[in-house]
Amino acid sequence: MDNQKLIVTAAPHITSADSTQKIMQRVCLALVPTLIASVIIFGINALVLVAVTVISCVFFEWAYCKLMHREVPIGDFSAVVTGMLLAFNMPATLPWWMAIVGAFIAIVVVKQLFGGLGYNFANPAIVGRIAMAMGFAGAMSNYPHPVSEIDAFSTATPLAVAGEVGSDSYLTLLLGVHGGVLGETCAITLLIGGIFLIATKVISPTIPVTYLATVAVLSLVAGQDPIYQLLSGGLLLGAFFMATDYVTSPTTTKGKLIFGLGLGIITCAIRFLGTMAEGVSFSILLMNLTVPYIEVLTRQDRLGIAKVKKNKEGAGK
Amino acid sequence: MSSNNKLKVFTNGILNENPVLVLVLGTCPTLATSTMASNGIGMGLAATFVLVCSNIVISALRKVIPNQVRIPCYITVIAGFVSVVQMLVEAFVPALDEALGVYLPLIVVNCIILGRAEMFASKNGIVDSALDGLGMGIGFMLTLTIMGTIREILGSGTWMSGLDGLFPFLPEGFAIQVLPESIDPFTIMTSAPGGFFIFGVMMAAATWLTTRPKKEKASAPAETAEGGNA
């Protein structure tokens, strides 16, 4: 859908009027409820942070393409989506200049240096988030408590205190009135956005459903509360908006199943066995890097071609 | 050989055939010791000393060493000089010894030194070999220092901290605070991912510098540079 000239699945193909621009606009629209929720929960600072990140993402994309004498792809909204997703991964207390550094890493280092949209090896927002979490460890984990309660009171995300006495109820998790980064707290709006994307056929439900189901099953096996695990942390944001990026996820259904399964296993491994509370971003990055191999292993047979030739074709790439 | 040629042998190592950025040799000590500018200077000085001495000795012995066993002979000569450097550093600049750690004795297996022995010293005269070693060593030291400067300023906010260990006349705890302390440093720069990123950016800059001016004249190093980048 991103590039009409290169269709990688086997025939028959159906063409549609969808363009990169339309798809990206729908993703933006799906993110708006979460944006509104984050402003209500964390105050006007959240809106300013999102605006700063989106504007710097678009600016870096424009400036890099001008500098390199490339066609400027601002109209396709992809930088806006990257900016929004990146901002949703920041706590509301983050200084603005750090957000600009994150936007630079996401757009210039991860996306444009590798050739722009369609050539990035991993989701720009994810790598931007990980680089910031490693680089500004203190500022990135300074989760503010919602404005409705005490001002400037930082707390752990629910995941870090899961299982402790007095941890948040399901309702608190659904409404998102707890500490965390901007876009991960309000589960209801994330679900609305995700269902909107599935209903408008922007994303296929395969990856998010496989991902969430794997996490739920593994939580049960590990003796954790599966609903709590699903609703807390960045899982919903990652599953619906970041793991489903066209460029960095497999194209075939079989590939998507493997991708979602891998995401779930890595996330649970980091959550239950690792020292970090959250593993969604690392699992998405790791699985992004395996996508080229998944694609080769799950390549479709062309219609009318005998099975015998399959090996030859596989070696041909 | 004319003096012009000698100058070229010397300057080759600094940019056109920079051992790290163009020949892509010795990347492991580069990434490991360029977290601070002062470490880069220390590592560069130690490697330059070994490089010049081993180039001179190997060049002098080039007609005596049998071709079949030349690599063990080179390594023996290099290891001898590395032992000298290590003992000197341990005795006189223990702070540097502590900062460089295992990378100081590992100069023995630094590809730059063996590479120059094989590529240059075994085929050229003593004076040329010494100049080549000096040029390559300075190129290595400059690269490490610039890389260390970028990584140290972005990652710790200071510059040249630890230089007092290298030059005892400086006051203890010497460091130039570049970024104000109120700004959180981007600590990923002092770890491996930041090192690889700065390494790539500097390689691109070196390729740009060597290929841009005088297109026809610089075509040979340009090819090497592109090969290294890919």
Domain boundaries, chain A: 20-316
How near does any CA of chain A get to the CA of B196, in Å? Answer: 12
Instruction: Please name the residue of chain A whose CA is at the shortest distance from the CA of residue B156.
Output: A135
Least confident of A290-294, A310-314, B52-56: A310-314
- Compute the average pLDDT of residues B131-150: 92
Work out the mean pLDDT of chain B and round it to a whole number: 83
Q: Which residues of A touch B187 (CB under 8 A)?
A: 134-137
Tell me whether B189 touches chain A (CB under 8 Å).
yes
CA angle, B182 then B186 then B192, to 5°: 150
Provide the pLDDT confidence category of residue B171 given band limits of 50, 70 and 90.
confident
Q: Does residue A308 surpass a pLDDT of 60? A: no
- Compute the average pLDDT of residues A149-164: 50
For helices A124-135 and A280-297, the axis angle rounded to 10 degrees is 140
Q: Which residues of B touch A136 (CB under 8 A)?
A: 184, 186-187
Q: Which residues of A touch B202 (CB under 8 A)?
A: none
What pLDDT score does B222 carry? Answer: 40
Task: Considering only the beta carbons, identify the residue of B184, B191, B194 that sits closest to A136.
Answer: B184
Provide the pLDDT confidence category of residue B86 given band limits of 50, 70 and 90.
very high
Q: Does residue A311 surpass a pLDDT of 60? A: no
Least confident of A68-77, A230-239, A246-255: A68-77
Break chain B into its structural domains and give their ranges: 8-221
**DSSP letter assigned to residue A143:** P
What pLDDT score does A77 carry? Answer: 84
Work out the mean pLDDT of chain A and round it to a whole number: 81
pLDDT digits (tens, 9 = 90+) for A77-93: 888 999 999 999 888 88
Provide the pLDDT confidence category of residue A290 given band limits of 50, 70 and 90.
very high
**DSSP letter assigned to residue A144:** B
Bond into B180 cis (ω within 30): no
- Compute the average pLDDT of residues A139-150: 63
* Most confident residue range from A131-140, A180-189, A273-282, B136-145: B136-145
Element (H, E) at B176: strand B176-177
Instruction: Please name the residue of chain B whose CA is at the shortest distance from the CA of residue A113.
Output: B201
**Per-residue burial over A66-100, b = 16 or more CB atoms within 10 Å of its CB, e = otherwise:** eeeeeeebeebbbbbbbbbbbbbbbbbebeeebbb
CA angle, A257 then A259 then A260, to 5°: 65
ipTM confidence:
0.70
How many H-runs (helices) and E-runs (strands) does chain A carry? 14, 0
Which has more confidence, A149 or B36? B36
- Compute the average pLDDT of residues B135-163: 88
Instruction: Please name the residue of chain A whose CA is at the shortest distance from the CA of residue B184.
Output: A136
Provide the pLDDT confidence category of residue B52 given band limits of 50, 70 and 90.
very high
How near does any CA of chain A get to the CA of B155, in Å? Answer: 8
Which has more confidence, A252 or A19? A252
Instruction: Please name the residue of chain B whose CA is at the shortest distance from the CA of residue A140.
Output: B184
What pLDDT score does A211 carry? Answer: 93
Total CB pairs under 8 A between chain A and B: 21
Of residues A41, A144, A161, the one with CA closest to residue A90: A144
Spatial contact of A260 and A214, defined as CB atoms under 8 Å apart: yes
Task: Considering only the beta carbons, identify the residue of A95, A98, A137 that sits closest to B187.
Answer: A137
pLDDT digits (tens, 9 = 90+) for A200-219: 888 888 999 999 999 999 99
User: Where do we find the tokens 């063990």?
Assistant: B72
Spatial contact of A288 and A121, defined as CB atoms under 8 Å apart: yes
What pLDDT score does B175 carry? Answer: 79
Q: Does residue B190 surpass a pLDDT of 70? A: yes
Provide the pLDDT confidence category of residue B138 given band limits of 50, 70 and 90.
very high
CA distance readout (Å), B184 to A102, A106, B187, B209: 14, 19, 8, 33
Identity of the residue numbered B200: G
Contacts of B41 (CB under 8 A, 6+ apart): B141, B144, B145, B148, B163, B166
Q: Does residue B228 surpass a pLDDT of 50? A: no
Cα dihedral A154→A158→A161→A167 (10° resolution): 100
CA distance B230 to B224: 10
Element (H, E) at B217: none
What pLDDT score does A207 carry? Answer: 92
Q: Express as a percent the part of chain A with pLDDT over 90.
A: 22
What pLDDT score does A147 carry? Answer: 52
Instruction: Please name the residue of chain A whose CA is at the shortest distance from the CA of residue B193.
Output: A131
Tell me whether B193 touches chain A (CB under 8 Å).
yes
Q: Does residue A312 surpass a pLDDT of 70? A: no
What pLDDT score does B192 carry? Answer: 86
Does CATH place domain A20-316 in 1.20.120?
no
Sort A273 into a burial class: Cβ within 10 Å, 0-12 / 13-18 / 19+. exposed
Task: Considering only the beta carbons, identify the residue of B186, B193, B194 that sits closest to A101.
Answer: B186
What pLDDT score does A11 carry? Answer: 60
